[in-house]
Structure 1
Amino acid sequence: MGKTWRVGSMMRVWRPGRVVDPHSVIGGLRKGPGDPAYVYDGRTVWRATRTPEGPVLLRLTPRQLEVEAEAWGAGAEWALDGVPELLGEADSWEGFAPLAVHPVLVEAARRFPHLRVPRTRAVFEAMAAAGIEQVVTGKEAFRGWRQLLTVYGEPAPGPGGPEGRRMMVPPAPEEWRLIPSWQWLRAGVEGRRSRVVVTAATRAKALERTLELTDSAEIERRLRSLPGVGVWTAAEVRQRAHGDADAFSFADYHVSRNVSYALIGEELDDDGCAELIEPYRGHRFRVQRLLELAGISHPRYGPRKALPTHTPGATHRLR
């Protein structure tokens, strides 16, 4: 990507030779519409993140067969260097062939041929977000993330988001460790989940070193060596930070049921779904993501779960 400079920022244009819609690739990183670290204005993505070089605000704007990337802050060059990986350049559909017996997946692959799995290279950041998301509704997790970043995050460098929206860089590992227990509880994050984040913060450097590995099984083993990290949390981190197209979200309340219902019209548990998608090994998360983009889910018969008004005290199996 060629470099240009604007006052206070650094710009590059990435020309991948294919259509790239940044939000369709990295939209899974957004923690709800109020996420102070991710803003999408209908075309452009604004993302605040922390790099090994420092905080950065990254703006990604698609323009036909190219993406204009602009970054502010100490981590600007690191972030711009990583734009191709962030937008899925390292991901490949090679070996992925939807089976004719799964016409819904065939159609989803036809509709979303430009889907790529992103690689953020931010392992601890992905672990912190996934830890907060464990065993609760998405709305509750998004609320906790938003409140913690608003209080303990760092104002993003540069102009902020569109129309001057205030954006926040997630806390550094040492800052997550200093959040008092009462503030976690105030954000709706009970001790079980906050301990996952705090423990991961003490191992942040080791987590980042998993980026050097190429064996997915070894990456998962190292992630799951942390107390409180199970198959679901490890998969969420691998999807986001490592760009792992096979990191299916097992142990999620809905994913196996959604995927199996989309493929065969029957809701299966994790074991049943694992057998069903075995032919897609190497691309099982790609299957999950394509079906999510297609908007297919199992029927919901009961009322939507309400957000709790107290800190949950029940224990759950590792996610």
Structure 2
Amino acid sequence: MTLAPTAVHDETVVDLGSPYDLPRSLGVLQRGHADPSIRIDPGEFLGGARGTPGAGAWLCLRIYTMEDATSPPSELGQATLRLDQLDPSQVRVRVAASSESAAQAAMHRSAGILGCEDDWQDLEFLLDALGDRISLTLAQVRRRHPGVRLPATGALFDELVTATLEQKVTHDQARYAWRNLLRRHGDRPPGTAALTAPEWMRLPLTASQLRAVPSWEWHRLWVQPPLSATVQRMAARAAAVHRLGLSTPVDTFDVQELADQLTAIPGIGVWTVAEALQRSHGAADLPAVGDYHLSAFVGEALTGRRTDDDGMLALLEPFRPHRQRIVRLLKLSGFQHQRMGPKLAPEDHRGR
């Protein structure tokens, strides 16, 4: 671990134009309560038409750039962001960054992180137009949570790493691995006198840092060999991943095309890509096919009966291109499905 470089500070206020729910919008980015890269302060308000004033978040990220479509991506710098919701629709953004250019890029990125570009109006019209019982119920859920948006961090490589660590393991395993990977090998993010990064905060690892983690250390982190091998393969292709992420705007068609390209990396499947793009690009129409519980949850919520991935996609098809937004609404509804499948109880092999 290295100390953060001398940083510069910047500040602005983002007005989202309508009630905003910061903790429920950004909560999908946090991997467990002790995530070293992001923490949400939920505040005291429940959302709805009043938004969530008083809520806030800390997060840090590396910012990559490329001069043109043919130039290799490079790291522009690192940034620490502090987000504070001031009233129902306005969020103050404070940035400490390793350079002036990184600060400007982080400020620009903050709007996407908050979900400013995520527009639910077409889905709201669609639900009203469909008019069936399920659609009207979903419309009611949306009216109860009008401030929820899909964030877009722009950090495709980092989101792919975290999603890879979550493949076919329990949440406890994945969160332990991510938390301790950053604690043991991550850099401190930049800070200033006006904005000091918390002691617990660590930046996501670069590709070279990931490649330097030895095999025995992955074992200590509770990461199975196939998953650590996938992370290493992805680190070897980091330049291509960064290039794809930087050249793909937040657009349904382009994001689907990007998903198809990413699955060409051995060990990266449709579930991993969906989980990553939902967070890096705010992918509104990319549900996580292959999830251990999701298809059963969607089936029970919409029909009262469990289903498989094909059945889930068939149920979500009328809502295209908003299928992931529908999944978010179902999770916001409070519906609890019966988890009657086999419990995944992996053996802890770290001490061997």
2:95 to 71, 75, 79: 71
Q: Give the match's secondary structure for 1:71.
A: strand
2:133 to 93, 101, 104: 101
Quote the residue 1:85 is aligned against. Answer: 112
2:148 to 96, 110, 115: 115
TM-score using structure 2 length:
0.81
Return the alpha-carbon distance in structure 1 between the equivalents of residues 301 and 349 of structure 2: 35
Structure-to-structure mapping, 1:214-233, within 5 angstroms: 214=251, 215-233=254-272
For the 8 Å contact 1:105–1:263, the answer to whether it is kept is no
Quote the residue 1:31 is aligned against. Answer: 31
Q: Which residue identity does 2:242 align to in structure 1?
A: E
Quote the residue 1:286 is aligned against. Answer: 325
Is the aligned partner of 1:48 residue 2:60? yes
Q: Name the count of aligned residue pairs.
A: 303
Is the aligned partner of 1:57 residue 2:90? no
Q: Give the match's secondary structure for 1:154.
A: coil
Deviations 1:48-100 (A, max 9, x none): 21112222111111111211001112233211111111111222224313353
Q: Which residue identity does 2:86 align to in structure 1?
A: R
Return the alpha-carbon distance in structure 1 between the equivalents of residues 103 and 211 of structure 2: 26
For the 8 Å contact 1:259–1:297, the answer to whether it is kept is no
Q: Which residue identity does 2:210 align to in structure 1?
A: W
For the 8 Å contact 2:19–2:146, the answer to whether it is kept is no
Quote the residue 1:4 is aligned against. Answer: none
Structure-to-structure mapping, 1:106-185, within 5 angstroms: 106-158=139-191, 164-185=198-219
Return the alpha-carbon distance in structure 1 between the equivalents of residues 23 and 265 of structure 2: 31
2:221 to 178, 187, 193: 187
1:240 to 279, 285, 288: 279
Return the alpha-carbon distance in structure 2 between the equivalents of residues 172 and 207 of structure 1: 12
Structure-to-structure mapping, 1:267-282, within 5 angstroms: 267-282=306-321
For the 8 Å contact 2:20–2:146, the answer to whether it is kept is no
Quote the offset at 1:229 in angstroms: 0.8
Question: 201-210 or 43-52: which moved more?
Answer: 201-210
Return the alpha-carbon distance in structure 1 between the equivalents of residues 56 and 346 of structure 2: 31
Quote the residue 1:3 is aligned against. Answer: none
Return the alpha-carbon distance in structure 1 between the equivalents of residues 267 and 181 of structure 2: 20
Q: Which residue identity does 2:10 align to in structure 1?
A: M
Q: Give the match's secondary structure for 1:196.
A: helix
Return the alpha-carbon distance in structure 2 between the equivalents of residues 146 and 160 of structure 1: 21
Q: Which residue identity does 1:18 align to in structure 2?
A: S
For the 8 Å contact 1:30–1:38, the answer to whether it is kept is yes
Quote the offset at 1:301 in angstroms: 4.1
Deviations 1:31-50 (A, max 9, x none): 10011111123321000211
Tell me: CA distance 1:45–1:179, structure 2 relative to 1, closer, same or farther (3 Å). Answer: same
For the 8 Å contact 1:104–1:263, the answer to whether it is kept is no
Q: Give the match's secondary structure for 1:250.
A: coil
For the 8 Å contact 1:153–1:168, the answer to whether it is kept is yes
2:304 to 252, 265, 290: 265
Quote the offset at 1:303 in angstroms: 8.2
Percent sequence identity over aligned pairs: 36
Q: Which residue identity does 1:82 align to in structure 2?
A: R
Return the alpha-carbon distance in structure 2 between the equivalents of residues 104 and 249 of structure 1: 22
For the 8 Å contact 2:255–2:281, the answer to whether it is kept is no
Deviations 1:192-212 (A, max 9, x none): 111221111122222122232
* Structure 2: unaligned runs, 5 residues or longer: 1-6, 43-54, 65-75
Q: Give the match's secondary structure for 1:192.
A: helix
Tell me: CA distance 1:307–1:77, structure 2 relative to 1, closer, same or farther (3 Å). Answer: farther
For the 8 Å contact 1:58–1:76, the answer to whether it is kept is no
Return the alpha-carbon distance in structure 1 between the equivalents of residues 80 and 332 of structure 2: 27
For the 8 Å contact 1:139–1:307, the answer to whether it is kept is no
Q: Which residue identity does 1:85 align to in structure 2?
A: G
Question: 291-300 or 110-119: which moved more?
Answer: 291-300
Return the alpha-carbon distance in structure 2 between the equivalents of residues 273 and 21 of structure 1: 27
Question: 209-218 or 300-309: which moved more?
Answer: 300-309
Output the aligned Cα RMSD. Answer: 1.9
Deviations 1:93-133 (A, max 9, x none): 24313353215423321211222111111110011101101
Quote the residue 2:50 is aligned against. Answer: none
* Structure 1: unaligned runs, 5 residues or longer: 1-6, 312-319
Return the alpha-carbon distance in structure 1 between the equivalents of residues 340 and 34 of structure 2: 28
Is the aligned partner of 1:208 residue 2:242? yes
Q: Give the match's secondary structure for 1:155.
A: coil
